[in-house]
Amino acid sequence: MDKIEKLLRKISQKNREQLLVIISKLLAGQKNSLDIKKLQSTDFYRLRSRRFRIIFHYEGKSKGIIIDSIKLRDENTYK
């Protein structure tokens, strides 16, 4: 079981549904309504939504999105 699956099992049903809606918006390309910033000195991006931080990057010329991690916000989120 990877870390993303473990997090989804640990959070409440309401938070899980909200997180899945945000991920579906990201994958569908609806980036205007999301809080996305490029992380300094890397090729990674951060999507912020409530207590969740989604770290992702773009793959190849087709601009496919690869989600690297989903974490609850704390002092170690970006390390």
Kindly report, residue by residue over 12-40, the tens digit of the pLDDT. Answer: 888 888 888 888 888 888 878 888 999 99
Which helix (DSSP H) or strand (DSSP E) does residue 8 occupy?
helix 3-10
Which helix (DSSP H) or strand (DSSP E) does residue 19 occupy?
helix 13-28
> What mean pLDDT value characterizes the chain?
84
Using pLDDT thresholds of 50, 70 and 90, give the confidence band for residue 77.
Answer: low
For position 5, what pLDDT does the model report? 83
For position 40, what pLDDT does the model report? 92
Pull the structure tokens for residue 68: 């690297």
Residues in the chain: 79
- Structural domains for the chain: 3-72 (3.30.2310.20)
